[in-house]
Amino acid sequence: MSKILLGVSGGIAAYKALELVRLATAAGHSVRVVQTPTSRRFVGAASFEALTGAPVLVSEFERDPSRGAFPDRSRETLASGENPRFGQPLPAHEPLSHLELAAGADVYAIAPATANTIAKLANGLADNLLSSCALAARCPLVIGPAMNDRMYEHPATKANLKTLRARGAHIVEPDVGRLASYGEHGIGRLADPARILRACEAALGGAPAPVEAASDATQEGEKGPWSGLRVLVTAGGTREPIDSVRFVGNSSSGRMGLALAMAARGRGAEVTVIAANVALPAPAGVAWREVRTAAELREACTLEFPAADVLLMAAAVADFRPATPAAGKIKKDGREGLSVELEPTVDVISELATHRRADQTLIGFAAEHGERALEQGRAKLAGKGLDAVVVNDVSRPDIGFEVDDNEVTIVTAAGERHVPRAAKARVAEAILDAVERLRAEERERPPRTAGLGASR
């Protein structure tokens, strides 16, 4: 059993913190809650107290009846002199709440974390109990941002999150979907509570949350413009073994693929992700398959592609692999060098295109280097039989691999659309908008024979 201190800041997503508490306590964790004054406009303290069995504090000047102790969820018989609710002797003195709560916590989660709260955390402000606890805490810090997409993508918010990451905070990226403001859609929805709990447990180094606890909130999904569509996304980068410990690989982190999966899920699609060596947590509500090599990715795609309506091939698949990988570890043993013969891998997306249905949409991704990036993207569009190719120039250090931003050009038979530098979640939305246009145009054309991808 772990002790989770939960900070709830002011935003409409505060109601989701109740579900996070429910999942955490059901998994056996002990939870205390601190709120900002504004958060109480959305969810009252009584709701959190009923779920945690412990007082909720909002100010450093409030007396904590539990004197910083966390509730005991073991329900075991308690020794003489112990508090019947908390299963431990209470301090003889009245401790300072922000110090005692932080000292007793195994992990401090702040969800929802508004733009204002994130700015305070990044700049070391301590003007309320929530932010004071953050400064005093020596345990892992997990932050679940929640706000309007324009606020989330503001340079100040991005800089603050970057600062917090650099200090070791675990940021649970928000979801894409309907926002609080009427009619608005984009990134900024608080991540699914089950995903935040998994991040807390990962920060503790414990086991992932039980599937049954996460399924309550992730399996139903929400209706959207892509309801009924089945989307297959590949993410990450393949690794081709040289020997039992070394490999030929690339720098793809999988961030772009996961942003696409989250965006498609936010629009209501049924999403399957084939993840090649992705270390990031799986988005909530998607089917997840892990692969390592180009051959394994090819096999997984061959199985999943026939059921898909849309393929987003964002994974960086190796073009070559060692022809004869060693079974064990190659020893240095005085060698002056090592030569590795490479052989080409199968072009997975081209192969899939030859077996496509007429109603399937195939989107390729081209990580090119330098001035001829667009020219090479156009060549791939024609040569591989795709509906679009998303081109980005990986010669730039500020976009592409292992960073949060991207800048791409979407190449189709009708022309090109440049998407300026933005968060990958925003770029993902632009790519899905292009998919919608392509599918709308396809519906207006006369039916065509399947399997003629190379002629498209």
Active-site choice (116, 128, 160, 250): 250
CB 164 within 8 A of CB 93: no
Instruction: Tell me whether residue 250 is one of the annotated catalytic residues.
Output: yes
For 115-229, strand residue ranges (E) read 141-145, 170-171, 175-178, 185-189
Alpha carbon distances (Å) from 450 to 299, 302, 306, 354, 454: 21, 16, 12, 9, 11
**Per 3-state DSSP, what percentage of the chain is helix, strand, and coil (rounded to 5)?**
35, 20, 45
How many residues are given for the chain?
Answer: 456
Secondary structure of residue 145 in the 3-state scheme: strand
| DSSP output for 274-327 | EEES--SPPPTT-EEEEE-SHHHHHHHHHHHGGG-SEEEE-SB--SEEESS--S
Nearest 10 degrees: Cα torsion 64, 65, 67, 73:
-110
Q: Collapsing DSSP states into helix, strand and coil, what is residue 391?
A: strand
Residues with a catalytic annotation lie at: 250
